[in-house]
Structure 1
Amino acid sequence: MQLDWTALGQVAGVSIGVTVAVVVVFALGVLGLARFEGAREEAGGTSALGLTQAGLCFLACAGVVAYGIYLIVPQFH
C-alpha cells in the first residue's frame, strides 16, 4: 500500500486553514453582536452595522458547514 504524503499534507493544510478561517469569521460575528448590544444599551439606539456584520459572518459560517455536509453525504451529489 502506497501513501501519497503530499496529498495527505495538502488535505491537512486545507483543513486547518478552513477551520481557522471559520473560527475567525464566527468570532467577527460575535463581535458584531457585541457592537449591536453595546450601541443599544449606551445610546438607546441600534447599530445596523454591527447587526449586518453579525448576520453576514454567521451566514458565511452556515454556508461553509452546509458545503461540508454536501461534500460528505453522497446522496446530495
Structure 2
Amino acid sequence: MKIDWAALGSVFGVSLVVTVSLVALFTLGVKGLAHRERATAQGGSAPLAVTGAYVCFAACAAAVAYGIYLIMAKA
C-alpha cells in the first residue's frame, strides 16, 4: 500500500482554507447582524450591514450545499 502524500497534503490544504473561509464568512454575518442590533438600539438602521450579513450566510449555505453535492455525486 502506497500513500500519495502530495494528494493528502493537497486535500489537507484545501480543507483548511475552506474551513477558515467558512468560519470567517459566518463570523462576518454574525457581526453584521450585531451591527444592526446596535443601530436599532440607537434609533437608526443599518441596511448595508444586514444585506452583507445575509450575503455571508447565503455564501456559507451555498458552500455547504456544494460540499454535500460533491459527497453525493461520488457515492
Both structures adopt the same fold (TM-score exceeding 0.5): yes
Measured on the aligned residues, the alpha-carbon RMSD in Å equals 1.5
Give the structure, 1 or 2, with the largest relative contact order (CA under 8 Å, sep 6 or more).
2
Structure 1 unaligned blocks of 5 or more? none
Q: For 1:1-77, what aligned pairs fall within 5 Å after superposition? A: 1-42=1-42, 44-74=43-73
Structure 2: gaps (5+ residues): none
User: Post-superposition, which runs of at least 4 consecutive aligned residues in structure 1 deviate over 3 A?
Assistant: none
Q: Please report the TM-score for the alignment, with normalisation by the length of structure 1.
A: 0.91
Distance across 2 between alignment mates of 1:72 and 1:52: 30
TM-score (norm 2): 0.93
Identity %: 55
Q: Distance in 1 between matches of 2:37 and 2:23?
A: 21
Report how many residues are paired: 75
Give 3-state SS (helix, strand or coil) of 1:74's partner: helix
